[in-house]
């Protein structure tokens, strides 16, 4: 073969191969990216299991002070693999986080080298956090077994270890957000053709449901709920668009497949359930007794909403990702969100009975609580300190009023029958934003409406203010530091 003919043949073969690579490269790149997302999501599943253990450790040591030992789960370290993120017997995963880590970090030619370096660095940091969290559950078990927990200094060691868990869970989510940003930047560089992105309306509706639900969850995680009603409206709009998609109209065997139809129906159901739970949060509904040791953010994020979003419970993300996998489009999978952990301290250990708000900054007074309209009192409570003592009692006629009191959105007294004997409580006011007390009547007694008197001290003088509530409305009063 002549040199000229050889070169021609080589170039022709190379060009044909490159065309073939070009046709498949976007899908291959997305598959490589999905390895990183799968690692993050499966890590989140392992974190859920350890999270429940940490809650139990926390509650088991509280019994040594002044809180009951309330067990939420009935498994322990001995019931679980040595490494919850390895799981060699596949108890919890089809593919474990550690296996996904190996797949993600195995050298690949489909992603740019600089992007691989960044992504590998991030998930290596995430894996380091998972290793520390797995070790933490054994460290805590050992402390509880060996330390004399009747001694306060030993109790403090255990609480310090639990606080390590708080930081590690937060650090994992921080790293996940960095990973998401890097992946999003890269995905936007892919030039996807119309042949690759089939069913754009379907994919857009899926993306809308994901982003709106994710935004609502992230706001709960960050305690940034001042525009939460707007986030719910965005979610409702996304669900309406999603519900308006009729898969049978797309003349595609992939979309009318019975499995896809089932996944689609589950997404609608779980999104609607998420909205319902989020609405209860905005209406300041009472949380279950076993979670009152925590706060409303912890309950609604970790319990009421996230199980409708993440895989366990066949949540929104799990179903969205199953659809993407089945229809085979080069779209990156969606991220789940990790739980966050919070340590509960007994009051005797804190040496205080002061009630602080779970919401660090309240920007507006509530307008609806427990489905009831809220009216603003004509007066305000003026105080000269950020720590205020209150006495609450029935006003004038003792008629067995039963009331609940909310401070900055937290129910500090629920269904209390008030009398001439004062109910005393102390509030620690937020330094920023608004502070308020809200009266909610549960039973108006013999002489409606329910009426309470609040007494407090302002500039050395005893002040008295009256609040009223009936079954149609509650009353809120703002507390001003002057």
DSSP character string of 93-133? -SS-HHHHHHHHHS--SSS-HHHHHHHHHHHHHHHHHHHHH
Name the average pLDDT for the chain: 88
Helix or strand (DSSP H, E) at 452: strand 450-458
Instruction: Report pTM.
Output: 0.86
Distance CA 52, CA 74 (A): 9
Ordered by start, the domain boundaries in the chain are 1-195, 198-329, 354-481
Give the chain's radius of gyration (CA, Å).
28
DSSP line for 396-412: SS----EEEEEETTEEE
**pLDDT single digits (tens) 259-314:** 999 999 999 999 999 999 999 999 999 998 878 878 999 999 999 999 999 988 78
Q: Which of 188-192, 326-330, 370-374, 415-419 has the lowest mean pLDDT?
A: 415-419
Between strands 436-443 and 473-481, the pairing is antiparallel
Percentage of the chain modeled with pLDDT above 90: 64
SS3 146: helix
Give the Å distances, CA to CA, from 258 to 14, 247, 253, 255, 315.
42, 11, 10, 8, 18
**pLDDT single digits (tens) 109-132:** 899 999 999 999 999 999 999 999
Give the Å distances, CA to CA, from 130 to 40, 44, 397.
10, 9, 60
Distance CA 191, CA 184 (A): 14
At 71 the pLDDT is: 52
Closest CA to 132 of 54, 72, 230, 17: 54
Q: Is the pLDDT of residue 197 over 90?
A: no
The arithmetic mean of pLDDT across residues 314-343, rounded, is 95
Distance CA 122, CA 116 (A): 10
pLDDT band, very low/low/confident/very high, at 1 (cuts 50, 70, 90): very low
The arithmetic mean of pLDDT across residues 36-61, rounded, is 93
CA 442 to chain centre: 30
**CB-based contact 205:240 (threshold 8 Å):** no
Helix or strand (DSSP H, E) at 152: helix 152-187
**CB-based contact 434:362 (threshold 8 Å):** yes
Q: Is the pLDDT of residue 90 over 80?
A: no
Residue with tokens 């930081």: 167
């Amino acid at each position: 073969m002549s040199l000229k003919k050889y070169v021609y043949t080589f170039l022709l073969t190379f060009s044909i191969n490159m065309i073939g690579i070009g046709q498949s490269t976007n899908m291959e790149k997305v598959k490589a990216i999905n390895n990183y997302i799968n690692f993050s999501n499966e890590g989140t599943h392992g974190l859920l299991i350890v999270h429940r253990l940490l809650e139990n450790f926390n509650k088991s040591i509280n019994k040594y002070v002044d809180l009951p030992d309330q067990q939420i789960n009935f498994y322990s370290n001995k019931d679980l693999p040595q490494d919850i993120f390895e799981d060699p017997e596949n108890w919890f995963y089809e593919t474990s986080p550690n296996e996904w880590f190996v797949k993600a970090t195995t050298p690949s030619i489909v992603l740019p080298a600089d992007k691989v370096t960044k992504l590998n660095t991030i998930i290596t940091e995430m894996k380091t956090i998972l290793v520390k969290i797995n070790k933490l559950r054994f460290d805590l078990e050992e402390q509880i077994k060996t330390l004399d927990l009747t001694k306060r200094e030993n109790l403090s060691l255990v609480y310090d270890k639990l606080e390590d868990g708080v930081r590690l869970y937060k650090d994992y989510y921080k790293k996940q957000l960095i990973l998401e940003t890097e992946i999003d930047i890269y995905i936007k560089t892919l030039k996807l053709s119309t042949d690759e992105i089939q069913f754009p309306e379907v994919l857009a509706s899926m993306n809308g449901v994901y982003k709106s639900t994710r935004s609502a969850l992230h706001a709960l995680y960050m305690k940034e709920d001042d525009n939460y009603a707007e986030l719910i409206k965005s979610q409702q709009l996304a669900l309406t668009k999603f519900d308006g998609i009729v898969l049978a109209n797309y003349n595609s065997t992939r979309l009318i497949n019975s499995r896809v139809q089932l996944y689609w129906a589950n997404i609608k159901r779980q999104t609607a359930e998420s909205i319902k739970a989020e609405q209860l949060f905005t209406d300041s509904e009472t949380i279950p007794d076993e979670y009152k040791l925590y706060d409303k953010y912890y309950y609604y994020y970790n319990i009421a909403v996230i199980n409708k979003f993440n895989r366990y419970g066949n949540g929104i993300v799990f179903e969205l990702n199953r659809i993407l996998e089945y229809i085979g489009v080069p779209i990156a999978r969606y991220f789940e969100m990790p739980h966050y952990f919070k340590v509960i301290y007994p009051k005797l250990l804190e040496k205080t009975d002061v009630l602080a708000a779970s919401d660090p900054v309240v920007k507006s007074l509530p307008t609806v609580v427990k489905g009831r309209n809220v009216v603003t009192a004509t007066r305000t409570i003026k105080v000269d300190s950020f720590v205020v003592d209150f006495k609450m009692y029935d006003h004038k006629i003792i008629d067995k009023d039963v009331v609940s009191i909310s401070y900055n959105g937290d129910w500090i007294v629920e269904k209390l029958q008030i009398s001439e004997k004062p109910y005393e409580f102390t509030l620690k006011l937020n330094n920023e934003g608004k502070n308020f007390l809200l009266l909610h009547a549960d039973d108006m007694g013999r002489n409606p409406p329910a009426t309470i008197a609040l007494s407090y001290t302002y500039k050395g003088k005893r002040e008295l203010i009256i609040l009223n509530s009936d079954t149609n409305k509650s009353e809120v009063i703002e507390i001003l530091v002057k």
